[in-house]
Amino acid sequence: MSAAMSITETTSIIPAKEIEQLDKHGYLFGQKLAASMSPMLHQTIYGALSLRWEQLRLDSTDMPLFLEAIKHPDFYAGASVTMPHKVAIIPHLDEVTDECREVGACNTIFVRESSDGRRIFCGANTDTVGVRDAFLKNVPSPEALRGRPGMVIGGGGAARSAVYALRKWLGVTDIYIINREKSEVDAVIAECANRGYGQGLIHVESVEQAEALEGPGASVACVPDFPPRTEAEKLARSILEAMLRKEKKGVLLEMCYNPTPYTEIWALAQNEGWEVILGTEALIWQGLEQDKYWTGLDTSQLPTELVREAVAKELARKSRL
């Protein structure tokens, strides 16, 4: 049985006959993928380039199955990797990019060929580029954010990517971290320090501390959209509100976009006069970066505006629902 057929039978993604009609196929590997816009985004690109390629959802925790699937001869040189596999996939790869190594998470697999014709499976982290370009492509004067503190809400893998992007490309000074769990923040700070970009990370643990700090500029929210329930969650929300009330406002990238990008944090920031960038912007730019690896084309050669229109249309559809 071919890898493509086993994937199809396991997940009911697409009939095997339809796979056979494709020249190449790739995967979106993770869990809770039904609402993901990733396959639609990439299909928009492949359609515009007249490529008979398709990204198939593999909603699974079966790592051996995925590793077998990407050996299929029609695997098109890449896959998107999402939670809970972004860290677990790294030991199975032959090479990783600097960003992937320094963040400690992989969201993109691409393939290159060795001099003797072997496939070399490589890992990249385009989430960092998504954060960077969401700011650079949407803020009229991004240089105004340089030299100011940054802020990250959350303590997971996306928070690490945000810290990396803010530090490497957006010129922030200190970075405030707001999160309900101190242990998660301690882990982020320790890992970032070990990888060389952990300087100036500050865990903001009280409203009083928040009120005494300089207001942040470039900020990234990396938490799911749900109302705070526990005391720790309520405290984290109060700290965030204190930061948003600062007289000097900033720009917030709200990474959450499922089931809607119009989250509670989006509303709080909007009401306090902040500029808010929707998480779908990060999705667009990290997805385009993935297709640079997979197609070998530069971003300028990819149908950027067509992708943005397709994502906006899907957002409008979801909003109506």
Could you say which of 62, 93, 125 is where a domain stops? Answer: 125
36 shares its domain with 172: no
CB atoms inside a 10 Å sphere around CB 40: 15
Q: Is residue 270 part of a domain?
A: yes
Distance of alpha carbon 252 from alpha carbon 50, whole angstroms? 36
Alpha helices in the chain (DSSP H): 3-11, 16-20, 38-48, 63-69, 98-103, 127-136, 157-169, 182-194, 207-212, 231-244, 264-271, 279-295, 304-320
272 shares its domain with 140: yes
Query: pLDDT band for position 10 (50/70/90)?
Result: very low
Convert the pLDDT of each residue in 14-39 to its tens digit.
445 455 677 888 999 999 888 889 99
Q: What is the DSSP string of 110-176?
A: EEEE-TTS-EEEEEE--HHHHHHHHHHTT-S-GGGGTTS-EEEE--SHHHHHHHHHHHHHS--SSEE
Q: Are 153 and 265 in contact (CB under 8 A)?
A: yes
Residue 255 half-sphere exposure, CB side, CA atoms within 13 Å? 23
Domain of 143, CATH number, reads 3.40.50.720
Indicate the residue type of 285: W
Task: Tell me which of 216 and 25 has the higher pLDDT.
Answer: 216
Query: pLDDT band for position 12 (50/70/90)?
Result: very low
Report the pLDDT averaged over residues 70-94: 90
Convert the pLDDT of each residue in 233-274 to its tens digit.
999 999 999 999 999 999 999 999 877 888 999 999 999 999
110 shares its domain with 45: yes
Q: Is residue 315 part of a domain?
A: no
Could you say which of 94, 125, 156 is where a domain stops? Answer: 125
Distance of alpha carbon 59 from alpha carbon 193, whole angstroms? 33
The parent domain of residue 248 ranges over: 129-279
Convert the pLDDT of each residue in 85-121 to its tens digit.
999 999 999 999 999 999 999 999 999 988 898 899 9
Return the pLDDT at 22.
Answer: 72
Task: Tell me which of 136 and 19 has the higher pLDDT.
Answer: 136
Q: Are 297 and 291 in contact (CB under 8 A)?
A: yes
Return the pLDDT at 61.
Answer: 93
134 shares its domain with 116: no
Convert the pLDDT of each residue in 138-157 to its tens digit.
999 999 999 999 999 999 88
Residue 220 half-sphere exposure, CB side, CA atoms within 13 Å? 32
Query: pLDDT band for position 288 (50/70/90)?
Result: very high
Q: Are 79 and 72 in contact (CB under 8 A)?
A: no
143 shares its domain with 256: yes
Report the pLDDT averaged over residues 174-184: 97
Domain of 34, CATH number, reads 3.40.50.10860
- Looking at the predicted structure, is the pLDDT value of residue 131 above 70? yes
Indicate the residue type of 5: M
pTM: 0.89
Token readout for 36 is: 């993901």
Return the pLDDT at 258.
Answer: 77
What are the backbone dihedrals phi and psi of residue 31, each rounded to the nearest 5 degrees, phi first?
-130, 160
